[in-house]
Amino acid sequence: MISKEKKAALEKEREERIAEAEIENLTGARHVESEKLAQILAARQLEIKQIPSDGHCMYRAVEDQLKEKNCALTVVALRSQTAEYMQSHVDDFLPFLTNPNTGDMYTPEEFQKYCYDIVNTAAWGGQLELRALSHILQTPIEIIQADSPPIIVGEEYSQKPLILVYMRHAYGLGEHYNSVTRLVNIATENCS
Clarify whether 57 is annotated catalytic: yes
Task: Tell me if residue 89 falls in helix, strand or coil.
Answer: coil
Find the helix packing angle between 108-120 and 75-88, rounded to 10°: 170
C-alpha 176/C-alpha 170 separation (Å) is 6
* Structural contact between residues 177 and 48, judged by C-beta atoms closer than 8 angstroms: no
Clarify whether 176 is annotated catalytic: yes
C-alpha 86/C-alpha 188 separation (Å) is 46
- 177 beta partners: 166
C-alpha 87/C-alpha 22 separation (Å) is 47
Clarify whether 115 is annotated catalytic: no
C-alpha 119/C-alpha 123 separation (Å) is 8
Instruction: Select which of 54, 91, 104, 147 is catalytic.
Output: 54
* Structural contact between residues 85 and 74, judged by C-beta atoms closer than 8 angstroms: no
Instruction: Select which of 56, 57, 64, 135 is catalytic.
Output: 57
DSSP 137: H
C-alpha 86/C-alpha 81 separation (Å) is 8
Instruction: Select which of 56, 64, 115, 176 is catalytic.
Output: 176
Segment holding 175, helix H or strand E: strand 174-182
Active site residues: 54, 57, 176
